[in-house]
Amino acid sequence: MVNNNEQSSSSQDYPEVVFLTSCGQGSKRIIIKDIAYIEAMKDNCMVYMSDKTRYHLTCPMKDIEDTLNPATFMKIHRSFIVNLTLIDFYFYGYVIMTTGVKVAVGDMFRNALKKHLCFWGQRQRSNKKGRK
């Protein structure tokens, strides 16, 4: 569940549809909200869709990251950007997407990710000493 208390970036328009360009193979139209996650591979990246199809792009992930709405997409590892609405399970070191894929959460990104997610059923722990 995505925490809607965060301010959305409404001052900038983000595309809903993009065309993925491959060398000499034309351009494939995709809907941004259908992206499950993006994986960086040096100067290339893979775009994984919610229907489990994938597309190879010959551009660095940073080129794509700047065009994604930060209210929906978040970098959770130096090699991964995920669609926050498609996270099915959160664990300390990784998330599981609705596609069943396990994606690592980097130490530097963990707290920011937890701030975007809403957790129920978790007790607030007190550091008061002397309680039984």
pTM score: 0.81
CA angle 81, 50, 6 (to 5 degrees): 50
> pLDDT tier at 60 (50, 70, 90 boundaries)?
very high
Q: What pLDDT, in 10s, does the model give residues 78-125?
A: 999 999 999 999 998 999 999 999 999 999 999 999 999 988 886 766
Q: How far, in Å, are 20, 39, 45 from residue 56 at the CA level?
A: 9, 10, 6
Which tens digit of pLDDT belongs to each residue from 4-26? 444 444 557 899 999 988 756 78
Contacts of residue 27, defined as CB under 8 A and 6 or more positions apart, other chains included, come to 19, 20, 21
How far apart, in whole angstroms, are the C-alpha atoms of residue 109 and residue 89? 16
| Segment (H or E) for 88 | strand 87-90
**Dist CA 72 CA 4 (whole Å):** 10
